Every structure is written in structure tokens, then in C-alpha cells.
């Protein structure tokens, strides 16, 4: 498989786009005509620049409204094509791409359109150029790829082929039947792969703002590539992505995201030419082994005080570093005050914050190999003599993800830490494990963050949820391990003053903002929390759930006395309460009854409003 990137996908000048594509490992680029028009050099300069960076210019695009036009427009289109062919020669490319006509005055007669395209293909033939024809999802007469294929068949010219674009196909609900059964490889001019979330909206707006890389959305891009591989396809797969966040982000970061997505897409499929007999699967994550906080001196006192009220106490000290461990149940919280460490660097930039998490994996070596394949940066940890050298990779924002073996005979704290004398047990107030860990990310990192967990750890990604904040909407998607023991909600917002954006401003970047602990008796867990540490819930909320769920008044009083919130569905019941924010992070304690698997989203707007009120105090 060869990989390419359309220049419209990422931000920057033409040179910056070329450099980003080259550094990310792409072999080719499609030049979007606007990028060439605003370039301050000649097409030959662009060609030399691409060659110097090891890139092939695989196409110049797009050309619009080429077929079915009345005179004198028809003649003008033929003249324009000749000029653009001259530019293509200077660029060193032999492909020009057409979009189906969007003009209401264009001819619906396919024989007329076929005659126009045949005449254009004849011009291309004399110049050694291949023309590609694409059905725009909002084309006036040709909207679906099977109609574009019908037109290409009518033309029946060796210099005209069809462009297959997954966004235009799947946004129209097209199936793969025509591709599977009718279209031969030699008539495919180019393949462009894009994904998108499942949305119901005007298709033009959908196309211009919500496309994303394969695996970041909900379209059946894996099935699409498998059909191509079954046919023996081995030409370029190219990204053509229109996305506001992509074009306001670092071009290199998005180019790397794009390359990662194509590698992942290739891994999900097999072909007769490949040695692998099954798609590459990510090793399973079994649990969260620990969270690590970066603190210094007394800066973490408010944090440790809140954790103490949640039943945590320092149970272990590191053998050689200024690091301690708080434990309760199967929850491990590391407090890192070491001056020469990644945690110190994280503290310098973000203040008191979560600087790392650790996953218990069923195959650490395979996960590290997959991380390298997907261009995820390794972190070299500094371990002392006799200490565990726990491998780590760069995670979301500036954080790390450590990897420990789920089947290890000893835990990390049995080797690197010493128990503190006089500590009586680790039962606390009955908290048992991490239930979920929420991360807030910038809007430009949202798609790449969800794909990080999907590609590298095999997590499933829930459908997005809109959480109404008093200052705007917060969008949330949850990454879940296959057995749902590890849950990572990811939140972002475009609203300047909404909670997610306030966290970004306080913490100076993406990071963990919510840590939820599971328990078996939430009322017992809540007894130890001082009222000033709790997130206060308004009385109106309890009147509302009393009416909605028909809860007895005794239960309502019990919930209200501890600021405990409640939800239920067909699966079971959900009890949860929150602490105040500490350095932007807040804690949640949850009790799940039955098979309840959600997060009490119906209560989110009340929680968000209460947090906004607390911040103003």
C-alpha cells in the first residue's frame, strides 16, 4: 500500500505541508489547486521541493463542472483543461481529478455528459494524462459513485477512470456492491479515504467541517479497504480531509495522525499478497494499575487532604526517590515530588496534575511494538539499581502511559517501594477500584485522543454525548476496554467559558480532570467527607428525581444529606457524588447496582452548573 495526503488536509504553506507529509512518512501528495495558486514559486519549484523531500506529486485537483455544460462554457472547459495539463506536466504528475457537476443548468443527459468527458479524455490521451471522475455527494445530477461509474463506463476511454472517495460514498448511504462486483482495478483513477462521525445534517456542511481520518469516525472504511484488497488493489491510498480543527493545528501533528490512521487501516485488513492471515489486533488492557500526580513541596496539600477524606493514606515510600504511594482497595495513587523527573517537568508546566497513568496489559512487548508502528513516541524512564524499568509511551497532552504486565507475579510497589511502618491496612472507606478516568482535551486533539486509545489499546469508542454546560456544550466520547473494566471519557468544547475550556486554561493543556472510584456502599463512603469538600447539589435536583423516579422520601433525604446523585435505567441503578475541584481535578465516587454501565449523563448539567458556582466563590 502506498500512502498520500491531499494538501487541503493540513494547515500551513505548501512547503510546510510538504515537509509535514514527508516527516510523517507519506510517499505522495495531492496538490489542491488553491495551495498551488497561492504558492510564491513556479510549478517546477513545487516539483523540485517535493522531490527533495522524497515525495511524488500524485495528482492536481479539483476541477469542477466539466461535463454537461452549455456553450460557450463547454469550450472554455476544454481550453482550461489544456492549460491545467501544462501545469500538471510542470508538477511532474499525470493525474487530474474532476468532480461531478453541481450546476442546476448542467445537462442531465448522460449521453451528452459522456460525450463531453470523452472529448476531454482525448485531450488527456495526447498528453499522457489520466483523468479521474468523482461523484460529489451534493452533485446536481451525479451524487452516487455507482452513477459516476455508469458515466465512466459510457465514456469507455482508457484515460478516464473513477475516483473512489469513502466520504462521498458513505455519507450518501452507498453500499460496496458496485465496487465489489463491477469496477475493475484498471478503471480506478485514485482512492481517497476519509471518515466522519455519524451525523444527520446538510451533506455539504458535513463534508466541509466534519471529515476525519479513518478510524476516527463511524464510516465502514475497514470494509471498504478489504473489498479493494480482495480485488488486488495496491496503489495509493490518499487522505482528502476537510476539517476545521485539522487546518488550525500543527501540520506535522496532523500528518502523523493521518499516517497512523492509514497504518491502522491497513492492519485491520488482509490481502493475498500479505503474510498476515488475520487483522492485527491490539493487546488487551486489563485494568488501570496506577495514576501518578506531579506535586512539589506543600503544593499538593489540598490534594492529599481531599484524598485522605476519601479514605486514602500514604502506605509506601519509594526506595530511592521522593515519591510516595497512597492505596485503597486496588487503587494506587502515586505522589511524585522527585526534582529530577518527568513529573517535575510536568509540574513546571501544568502545576499539581496527573502526569501519568499505567495500564495492566496482557502483552507489554506487543503493545510497545504496536506503539512504534503507529508512530507513538517512547519515553525513556530513569530507573535506579534494582528498580523496575517500567516502559512508557507519550500519552494525551504531556502525560505518559506506563505499561505493566497484567500477569506479573509481583506488583510494582512490591519492588520499588517500602511499606510505611504503622499503617493499619488499606481498606479506607470501601473504595475498590478505578471506575473511570476523565480527560479533557483541546478541540484540536479530540479526534486524535480517541484514536490513540482505539488503535493502540483496542478500545471501543462510544457514540458522542452532548453535555449541557451553562456556558455552552461539552462533547464527550468514552474509550472502553473490551471488557469495559477500563473507561476513559474524553471531553472537549468549543465554548470559551465552558468547564472543559476552563480546565484547559487552568492546567495549560490537555489532561486528567476527573477520577472516579468504585465502591460497594456509597453512603458509607460519603460519611467521611466534610461538607466543604463535597460538591453541593441544589435542592431542586432532589425534587426532580423524586418526581421522575418515584423514590421514597426517606431515600431522597438520605441522598440529599450527602449530596449523592442518582440515575436508573433498564440495566440497573447508579449512585454518585463529587468532591470539590482541587487544582482543576475533581473526584467522583460511584456505586453501580445491577448491570448499569453508563455514567449518569442525565445529571451532568446539574454537576457542571454546581462546579461553575463553586469556581466563582
Residues placed in the known binding site for a divalent metal cation: 134, 165, 192, 240
Nearest by Cα to 294 from 533, 575, 508: 508
Alpha-carbon torsion angle 521, 300, 334, 564, nearest 10: 20
What grid cell was written down for 355? 502526569
Binding residue numbers: 134, 165, 192, 240
d(CA 69, CA 335) in angstroms, rounded, equals: 70
Beta carbons of 310 and 371 less than 8 angstroms apart: no
Nearest by Cα to 49 from 84, 8, 90, 1: 90
Please give the radius of gyration of the chain, using alpha carbons only, rounded to the nearest integer.
28
d(CA 327, CA 312) in angstroms, rounded, equals: 6
Range 563-567, long-range pairs (CB < 8 A, 24+ positions): 563/526, 563/534, 563/535, 563/536, 563/537, 564/522, 564/523, 564/526, 565/537, 565/541, 565/600, 565/603, 565/606, 565/607, 566/600, 566/603, 567/596, 567/598, 567/600, 567/602, 567/603
Question: Cα 608–614–617 angle (5° rounding)?
Answer: 150
End-to-end Cα spacing for the chain? 58
Alpha-carbon torsion angle 251, 253, 259, 264, nearest 10: -150
The three-class DSSP label of residue 302 is helix
d(CA 290, CA 18) in angstroms, rounded, equals: 41
Half-sphere exposure of residue 156: CA atoms within 13 angstroms, side-chain side: 2
What is the separation of C-alpha 138 from the centre of its chain, rounded to a whole number of angstroms? 27
CB atoms within 10 A of CB 78: 15
Beta carbons of 11 and 37 less than 8 angstroms apart: no
Amino acid at each position: 500500500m502506498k500512502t498520500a495526503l491531499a494538501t487541503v488536509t493540513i494547515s500551513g504553506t505548501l512547503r510546510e505541508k510538504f515537509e509535514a507529509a514527508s516527516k510523517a512518512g507519506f510517499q505522495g501528495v495531492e496538490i489542491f489547486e488553491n495551495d498551488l495558486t497561492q504558492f510564491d514559486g513556479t510549478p517546477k519549484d513545487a516539483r523540485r521541493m517535493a522531490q527533495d523531500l522524497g515525495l511524488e506529486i500524485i495528482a492536481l485537483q479539483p476541477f469542477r463542472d466539466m461535463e454537461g455544460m452549455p456553450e460557450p462554457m463547454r469550450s472554455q472547459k476544454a481550453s482550461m483543461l489544456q492549460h491545467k495539463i501544462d501545469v500538471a506536466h510542470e508538477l511532474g504528475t499525470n493525474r487530474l481529478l474532476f468532480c461531478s457537476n453541481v450546476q442546476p443548468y448542467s445537462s442531465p443527459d448522460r449521453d451528452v455528459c459522456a460525450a463531453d468527458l470523452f472529448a476531454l479524455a482525448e485531450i488527456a490521451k495526447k498528453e499522457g494524462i489520466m483523468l479521474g471522475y468523482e461523484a460529489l455527494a451534493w452533485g446536481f445530477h451525479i451524487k452516487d459513485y455507482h452513477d459516476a461509474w455508469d458515466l465512466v463506463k459510457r465514456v469507455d476511454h482508457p484515460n478516464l477512470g473513477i475516483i473512489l472517495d469513502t466520504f462521498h460514498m458513505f455519507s450518501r448511504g452507498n453500499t460496496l456492491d458496485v465496487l465489489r462486483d463491477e469496477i475493475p482495478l484498471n478503471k480506478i483513477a485514485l482512492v481517497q479515504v476519509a471518515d466522519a462521525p455519524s451525523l444527520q445534517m446538510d451533506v455539504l456542511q458535513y463534508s466541509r467541517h466534519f471529515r476525519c481520518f479513518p478510524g476516527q469516525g463511524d464510516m465502514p472504511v475497514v470494509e471498504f479497504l478489504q473489498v479493494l484488497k480482495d480485488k488486488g488493489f495496491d496503489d495509493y491510498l490518499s487522505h482528502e480531509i476537510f476539517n476545521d480543527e485539522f487546518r488550525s493545528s500543527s501540520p506535522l501533528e496532523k500528518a502523523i495522525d493521518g499516517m497512523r490512521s492509514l497504518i491502522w487501516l491497513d492492519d485491520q485488513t488482509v490481502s493475498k499478497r500479505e503474510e498476515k492471515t488475520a487483522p492485527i489486533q491490539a493487546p488487551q488492557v486489563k485494568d488501570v494499575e496506577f495514576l501518578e500526580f506531579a506535586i512539589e513541596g506543600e503544593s499538593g496539600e489540598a490534594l492529599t487532604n481531599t484524598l485522605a477524606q476519601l479514605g486514602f493514606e500514604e502506605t509506601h515510600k519509594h526506595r530511592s526517590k521522593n515519591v510516595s504511594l497512597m492505596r485503597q482497595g486496588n487503587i494506587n495513587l502515586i505522589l511524585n515530588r522527585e526534582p529530577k523527573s518527568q513529573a517535575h517537568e510536568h509540574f513546571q508546566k501544568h502545576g499539581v496534575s496527573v502526569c501519568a497513568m499505567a495500564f495492566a496489559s496482557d502483552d507489554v512487548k506487543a503493545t510497545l511494538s504496536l506503539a512504534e508502528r503507529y508512530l507513538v513516541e517512547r519515553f525513556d524512564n530513569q530507573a535506579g539499581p534494582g528498580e523496575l524499568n517500567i516502559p512508557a509511551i507519550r500519552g494525551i497532552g504531556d502525560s505518559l502511559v506506563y505499561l505493566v504486565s497484567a500477569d506479573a507475579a509481583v506488583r510494582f510497589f512490591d519492588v520499588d517501594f517500602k511499606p510505611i511502618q504503622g499503617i493499619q491496612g488499606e481498606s479506607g472507606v470501601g473504595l475498590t477500584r478505578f471506575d473511570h478516568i476523565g480527560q479533557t482535551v483541546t478541540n484540536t486533539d479530540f479526534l486524535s485522543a480517541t484514536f490513540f486509545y482505539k488503535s493502540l489499546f483496542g478500545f471501543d469508542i462510544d457514540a458522542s454525548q452532548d453535555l449541557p454546560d451553562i456556558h455552552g456544550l461539552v462533547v464527550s466520547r468514552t474509550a472502553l476496554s473490551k471488557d469495559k473494566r477500563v473507561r476513559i471519557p474524553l471531553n472537549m468544547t468549543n465554548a470559551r467559558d465552558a468547564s472543559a475550556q476552563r480546565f484547559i486554561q487552568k492546567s495549560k493543556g490537555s489532561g486528567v480532570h476527573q477520577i472516579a472510584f468504585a465502591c460497594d456502599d456509597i453512603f458509607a463512603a460519603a460519611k467521611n467527607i466534610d461538607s466543604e469538600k463535597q460538591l453541593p447539589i441544589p435542592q431542586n435536583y432532589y425534587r426532580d428525581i423524586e418526581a421522575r423516579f418515584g423514590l421514597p422520601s426517606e431515600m431522597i433525604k438520605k441522598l440529599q444529606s450527602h449530596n449523592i446523585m442518582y440515575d436508573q435505567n433498564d440495566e440497573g441503578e447508579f449512585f454518585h457524588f463529587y468532591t470539590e475541584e482541587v487544582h482543576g481535578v475533581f473526584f467522583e465516587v460511584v456505586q453501580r447496582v445491577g448491570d448499569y454501565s453508563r455514567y449518569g449523563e442525565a445529571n451532568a448539567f446539574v454537576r457542571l452548573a454546581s462546579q461553575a458556582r463553586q469556581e466563582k466563590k
